[in-house]
Structure 1
Amino acid sequence: MIARRQFLSTASLAFLGLQRYASASPASRAIAPLGPLKADPAGILDLPEGFSYKVISKVGDKMTDGFKVPGKHDGMAAFPQPDGKVVLVRNHELSLAMTDIGPFENNFEYPASLDPELCHDPGEGGVEPFLGGTTNLVFDPATGEKVSEFLSLIGTDRNCAGGPMPWGTWITCEEPENLTIGRNRNHGWCFEVKATATPGLQKAVPLKALGRYRHEAVALDPDTGILYLTEDRTDGLLYRFIPDKKNDFTSGKLQALVVVDRPKADLRNYNPRSKWPAEAEEIKVTWMDLEDTDAPNDDLRIRGHEAGAARFARGEGIHQTPEGIFICCTDGGPSRRGQLFQLQPSGSADKPDTLSLFLQSEKDDLLTNGDNLCPAPWGGVVVCEDLIDSSFAAHSHIQCVTPEGKIHTLARNAKDKSEFAGCCFSPDGKWLFVNLQSHGLTLAVTGPWQA
């Protein structure tokens, strides 16, 4: 994380140091430090004055390894390289049925050049192979150009989001539509991918100790080595993994969040008459051990809740920031417009942590249905919208939420309301990378982010 800097706009300076109040109205949260968005003549991405973007990758393009760029771009992270270049490790949320946007000429079978031993589920015995996985894209910040891109993981199912590790890897998470249907190999795992610039497919090894469910994203607390994990279900849990050996996710203890003195708590706030949780309210939480975490019946969240774990509304993006761990719950709140939680770990696996509802989106808020998110170099988080209801808006946006709870718009999908995904910054904070999932585009955005 680079040092925080204040925004160019003097309007933003007035908000630095403001305290957050639970009674603040949605309208009072909106600020515009970068100015209004300008319509993109190309009809792809609307940005503030002084900002620009490049399309650096597109579904179907030929990659360095001869394969095609797969579609359904999703979670992504940027990793520095010794030569100053950046490697993006990018998920592709491809299911079995998405053969029209897979990486191969014939997506009903793997090419002969592909070693099936490197793939998690190559489709033995006449069963179609799985097409989900990751690609690595090498980008040169000095020229603003792509250098290369290639397939780095294959044979997985609907790789949604994940999280970067400080030792230069990306944890990619499977989010199968159905975990209980018959398959040659089980799905619903996490996998670790090296952020290498050298082309080549990496061996897919499931991190089974992290549990089997509809994974979404992960965030590491580097101080304790504890990994936090979200679950994209309307009745999902929030998990943490305590490894037996720090930075090794092959063995350890999987746990679920429990609200102290409130077992089986419902944090979704779906009931419009409910006043709990309220914004900025501090909630003491602890964690309970989970059993049978390979969950062949897809019931880990159900068993966990019955034993006392709290429910969340579609936990998606999660990221460690200087202000704590932020968690997006895409359709939480009475209006189903989403919630943003903030978790403050105690620093010890044996002491209660603190959870607060940082922001709950209402009708007049700028932020709706937050999904992927990443830390902003200047503080706070950048959030990708995934509009789940066509009545909410005609276009999705990339929003910034400041540490004080203010919201401003960084970009707008000029095409439609389809989701943004995979937002992340280059290590120097000058480039924002993001995917337009349905359109199969990876964009690199630059401009006067901060002075």
Structure 2
Amino acid sequence: MLRRTVLLTFAGAALGGSLWQGAAHASEGRSPYGPLQPPDDVGLALPEGFTGRLVARSGHRVAGLAWHAAPDGGACFPDGDGWIYVSNSEIPLLGGASAIRFAHDGTVRDAYRILSGTNLNCAGGATPWRTWLSCEEAYRGRVFECDPYGSRPARPRLAMGRFKHEAAACDPDREVVYMTEDEKDGCFYRFRPTDWGDLTEGTLEVLCHGMVWKEVPSPAALVKATRHQVDDARHFNGGEGCHYADGVCYFTTKGDNRVWAYDAKASTLEPIYDADSPLSGVDNITGTASGELFVAEDGGNMEINVITPQRVAAPFLRLHGHSRSEITGPAFSPDGTRLYFSSQRGRRGILTDGHTFEVTGPFTI
């Protein structure tokens, strides 16, 4: 197969204060964080100056809570002088989500469930009003709005559609929530709530050819799947992670190994990564305030790669000894100094052996 080159193409979209302008091709390059060092005692190969630790493992106690199986999508939330990391559980019928509360120095204060009894909770997204949207990757899957602080019960947000949900990203500028769909002919959606900050009611729309959004007639999908209800809907091969920053929604498609950028202001859509290397099996995605994107691999050689505003794609970390797993749930602490993520199936390659890690170091913030 002819190897594709990294494509970072983008017209006039702001990314973390930097401009990615015009069409450009760039081969994989050197990471701004330097080369990876030999793996540490938990199997993490990191750049010099970074350290990693294992903070949770499926079936093992974390502050009294048995950590869930198959950890997947995650996000961080501020909590006084500390923070909270939320993680989904992608197992059938007993999925849900859990949270770990950290003190200012990174020590674990508490751990608890925020959602239980749901199905295949894969990815999701954080809202500006500090709730977690946990998405079911199942036939007629739902979105649940959860309280990461553990005070209020989770609630289904059925107006956001019943389909094989993957990830969600809030756009506070246009007051919409973008969503991906994990199907070979999945769609890219946006939900327009009637009142921003309240996801109970609203309109579900799908991106169509010609870069127009059209309303999905039946979000509940009782007769026909949402992705097949609008004739000129644009289809994507396996929608995965989703991240919004500075007017642009980035999302990944695993079927063609692409990272896309939807510029909401200019109403354009382009792949910013379209290659076989260094990223293979693009999945969850997050970013920093400086404009760097961090993309996790489903399989591949178990890396999280960084894509910089300077059009460089390179490995940031590699996890050794987890060859039958995938990397999930990358999320930065509110101050940007710690990165959390999981190995969904761990060293043994089974859902009950999930590992959740923390990496600390001099990230560009």
The one-character-per-residue Cα deviations of 1:217-251 (angstroms, maximum 9, x if unpaired) are 11111122111110011100000111111121111
Q: Out of 58, 72, 75, which is 1:74 matched to? A: 72
Letter matched to residue 30 of structure 2: I
Query: Residue 359 of structure 1 contacts residue 405 of structure 1 at CA under 8 Å; is this kept in 2?
Result: no
Letter matched to residue 142 of structure 2: W
For residue 96 of structure 2, give the secondary structure of its aligned residue in structure 1.
strand
Query: Residue 135 of structure 2 contacts residue 166 of structure 2 at CA under 8 Å; is this kept in 1?
Result: yes
1:166 deviates by 1.3
Q: 1:204 to 1:448 in 2, by over 3 A?
A: closer
Larger fraction in strand = 2
Residue in 1 that maps onto 2:351: none
Q: Out of 368, 373, 376, which is 2:285 matched to? A: 373
For residue 409 of structure 1, give the secondary structure of its aligned residue in structure 2.
strand
Query: Residue 134 of structure 2 contacts residue 145 of structure 2 at CA under 8 Å; is this kept in 1?
Result: yes
1:322 deviates by 2.5
Q: 1:251 to 1:53 in 2, by over 3 A?
A: same
Give, in whole Å, the separation in 2 of the partners of 1:322 and 1:383: 18
1:49 deviates by 1.5
The one-character-per-residue Cα deviations of 1:84-109 (angstroms, maximum 9, x if unpaired) are 110111101011xxxxxxxxxxxxxx
Give, in whole Å, the separation in 2 of the partners of 1:290 and 1:450: 40
Give, in whole Å, the separation in 2 of the partners of 1:376 and 1:303: 36
Report whether the alignment pairs 1:249 with 2:249.
Answer: no
Give, in whole Å, the separation in 1 of the partners of 2:104 and 2:304: 21
Equivalences for residues 7-406 of structure 1 within 5 A: 22=23, 24-25=25-26, 28-64=27-63, 67-82=65-80, 84-95=81-92, 130-142=93-105, 144-176=106-138, 179=139, 188-196=141-149, 202-260=152-210, 285-297=211-223, 299-304=225-230, 307-322=231-246, 324-332=248-256, 338-346=257-265, 353-362=267-276, 365-387=277-299, 393=300, 395-406=301-312
For residue 179 of structure 2, give the secondary structure of its aligned residue in structure 1.
strand
Query: Residue 323 of structure 1 contacts residue 380 of structure 1 at CA under 8 Å; is this kept in 2?
Result: no
Give, in whole Å, the separation in 2 of the partners of 1:257 and 1:18: 25
1:403 deviates by 2.1
For residue 42 of structure 1, give the secondary structure of its aligned residue in structure 2.
coil
Can you give the 5+ residue segments of structure 1 that lack an aligned partner in the other structure?
A: 1-15, 96-129, 180-186, 261-284, 333-337, 347-351, 388-392
TM-score, with length taken from structure 1: 0.72
Q: 1:53 to 1:309 in 2, by over 3 A?
A: same
Query: Residue 56 of structure 1 contacts residue 145 of structure 1 at CA under 8 Å; is this kept in 2?
Result: no
Letter matched to residue 216 of structure 1: E
Q: 1:353 to 1:20 in 2, by over 3 A?
A: closer
For residue 301 of structure 1, give the secondary structure of its aligned residue in structure 2.
helix
Letter matched to residue 353 of structure 1: S
For residue 206 of structure 2, give the secondary structure of its aligned residue in structure 1.
strand
Query: Residue 91 of structure 1 contacts residue 161 of structure 1 at CA under 8 Å; is this kept in 2?
Result: yes
Can you give the 5+ residue segments of structure 2 that lack an aligned partner in the other structure?
A: 1-16, 347-353
1:373 deviates by 0.7
Residue in 2 that maps onto 1:410: 316
1:139 deviates by 1.3
For residue 345 of structure 2, give the secondary structure of its aligned residue in structure 1.
helix
1:67 deviates by 4.6
Letter matched to residue 286 of structure 2: C
Residue in 2 that maps onto 1:449: 363
Give, in whole Å, the separation in 2 of the partners of 1:398 and 1:434: 9
1:190 deviates by 0.2
1:380 deviates by 2.5
For residue 38 of structure 1, give the secondary structure of its aligned residue in structure 2.
coil
Give, in whole Å, the separation in 1 of the partners of 2:206 and 2:18: 34
1:17 deviates by 7.4
Letter matched to residue 103 of structure 2: D
Q: 1:298 to 1:159 in 2, by over 3 A?
A: farther
Query: Residue 58 of structure 2 contacts residue 66 of structure 2 at CA under 8 Å; is this kept in 1?
Result: yes
Query: Residue 20 of structure 1 contacts residue 405 of structure 1 at CA under 8 Å; is this kept in 2?
Result: no
Letter matched to residue 431 of structure 1: R
1:147 deviates by 1.5
Letter matched to residue 423 of structure 1: P
Query: Residue 132 of structure 1 contacts residue 154 of structure 1 at CA under 8 Å; is this kept in 2?
Result: yes
Q: 1:449 to 1:131 in 2, by over 3 A?
A: same
Letter matched to residue 406 of structure 1: V
Give, in whole Å, the separation in 2 of the partners of 1:41 and 1:189: 39
1:163 deviates by 0.5
For residue 209 of structure 1, give the secondary structure of its aligned residue in structure 2.
helix
How big is the alpha-carbon RMSD for the aligned residues of Structure 1 and Structure 2? 2.1
Give, in whole Å, the separation in 2 of the partners of 1:344 and 1:41: 39
Give, in whole Å, the separation in 1 of the partners of 2:20 and 2:285: 23
TM-score, with length taken from structure 2: 0.88
1:298 deviates by 6.0
